[in-house]
Amino acid sequence: MADRPAISIVMPTYNRGGSLQRAVASVVAQTHADFELIVVDDASTDGSDEMVRRFGDPRIRLHRFDSRRGANPARNQGISMARAELVTFLDSDDEFLPHRLDHTVQVMRGDRHTDVLLSSFHTCRRGRFVPSTNPDTRLTADELERSLMAHAVVIAGSAITVRREVLTRCGGFAPHLGRMQDRELLLNIARCQALAGRSGARLLAAPDWVKHQSADSISAPVYGFVEALGGLVACHPHLISKYGPLVRYHVARAIIAQLVRGRFAAARRIQGENLRVPAFRFTPGELAQAYLQGRWARAGIVNAVRSSARRMPDAAVESPDTATTYRLPERDRSPVRRAA
């Protein structure tokens, strides 16, 4: 393997067993072979490290923590170890489609002004594949921030590719966040890029990976969303003043979604989350007003993103059928310093 591969894939894992083998196999099967896969084992107890070693592929680098530190410190460890100019991520319960790296490297090499790339994907729920797609477009740093706050673009950790220089300059993942860490990373990069006069992100419409939503996926639970949103705002306090109506809208929407289904206990529980977040504690009146105002504001941002779309002439859509599926039973933002 060359000292400096074209792209580094960072994969954190903890007791993922069979899904980890599927994820690693999907990388090994890539049509683009010039990569390094950095697997960071967060002190698994199920033999995950031995399973990775059995692949016997020199492009795979394994780092194992002696004790649990969490997924984000594991990601930051991987960033600090990356040797390629491009760094992308793959959660150990997801998988790349065969041309994922080929697409990514081609786009990033062909557009030196693009520092961040967001891929579309298929979401697999109970064996059914649902497309989760963005338009083909470019967003400025300000547009990226606005779209992230409006939830106007589809994101997930395995969708993100960033130039290593940007991660070094802007920082890695917030170690303490358990949810919305992907959104927080992109918000931080957008703010950092805006200050540096750089572009925001390139979005790709063609899905090139599969997100498997398992029972223990942190993105699946209904509860915790509002508190996670509060954690996001705590990382970036300016967001509550800049995007107050959108923040209140997301809180209101989470509650209303339960009310319309007759899940009154769930709605009360989510309202309890709202009251526990010091930056929130929105009253029912504020939430009712915000739902109406924020809905229109969000729709405007979504329409702006969609109307800016430019289809790439060679954008080919990969079917999830081509996935390699194995059926097995005040923060320091330096990735190097965070990895300790």
Q: For residue 303, give both structure tokens.
A: 């329409």
Do residues 286 and 168 share a domain? no
Is residue 66 over pLDDT 60? Answer: yes
Band of the pLDDT at 316, cuts 50, 70, 90? low
Q: What is the pLDDT of residue 105?
A: 98
Is residue 70 over pLDDT 50? Answer: yes
Q: What is the pLDDT of residue 309?
A: 76
Q: What is the pLDDT of residue 306?
A: 87
Which residues span the domain enclosing 35? 7-218+311-338
Q: Is residue 2 part of a domain?
A: no
Most confident of 38-52, 124-138, 282-296: 38-52
Do residues 202 and 239 share a domain? no
Average pLDDT value for residue range 55-69: 97
State how far the Cα of 247 lies from the Cα of 265, in Å rounded to an integer: 22
Q: Is residue 191 part of a domain?
A: yes
Distance, CA of 124 to chain centre: 16
Q: Is residue 321 part of a domain?
A: yes
Q: Is residue 324 part of a domain?
A: yes
Q: How far is CA 76 from CA 26, 187, 200, in A?
A: 22, 17, 21
Average pLDDT value for residue range 84-110: 97
State how far the Cα of 244 lies from the Cα of 150, in Å rounded to an integer: 11
Packed helices 141-150 and 244-259: angle between N→C axes, nearest 10 degrees: 30
Average pLDDT value for residue range 236-261: 94
Do residues 193 and 283 share a domain? no
The answer to whether the beta carbons of residues 266 and 258 sit under 8 Å apart is yes
Q: What is the pLDDT of residue 24?
A: 98
Do residues 180 and 286 share a domain? no
Listed range (63-77, 145-159, 165-179, 296-310) with the worst mean pLDDT? 296-310
Do residues 159 and 23 share a domain? yes
Band of the pLDDT at 337, cuts 50, 70, 90? very low
Distance, CA of 42 to chain centre: 19
Domains in the chain, number: 2
Instruction: List pLDDT tens digits, range 123-180.
Output: 998 888 999 999 999 999 999 999 999 999 999 999 999 999 999 999 899 999 999 9
Do residues 282 and 190 share a domain? no
Q: What is the pLDDT of residue 310?
A: 56
Band of the pLDDT at 326, cuts 50, 70, 90? very low
Band of the pLDDT at 198, cuts 50, 70, 90? confident
Helix (H) or strand (E) holding 61: strand 60-64
Do residues 152 and 114 share a domain? yes
Is residue 335 over pLDDT 70? Answer: no
Q: Is residue 278 part of a domain?
A: yes
Average pLDDT value for residue range 97-105: 97
SS3 for 62?
Answer: strand
Do residues 70 and 152 share a domain? yes
Q: Is residue 79 part of a domain?
A: yes
State how far the Cα of 87 lies from the Cα of 166, in Å rounded to an integer: 10
Do residues 151 and 242 share a domain? no
Listed range (101-105, 149-153, 306-310) with the worst mean pLDDT? 306-310
CATH of residue 27: 3.90.550.10
Q: What is the mean pLDDT of the chain?
A: 88
Is residue 215 over pLDDT 90? Answer: no
Do residues 317 and 299 share a domain? no
Q: What is the pLDDT of residue 213?
A: 83
Do residues 155 and 294 share a domain? no
Q: Is residue 103 part of a domain?
A: yes
**Longest CA span, the chain:** 61
Selection from 234, 219, 220, 213 nearest residue 182 by Cα: 219
Do residues 248 and 325 share a domain? no
Selection from 3, 204, 2 nearest residue 106 by Cα: 204
Is residue 111 over pLDDT 50? Answer: yes
State how far the Cα of 36 lies from the Cα of 89, in Å rounded to an integer: 11
Q: Is residue 1 part of a domain?
A: no
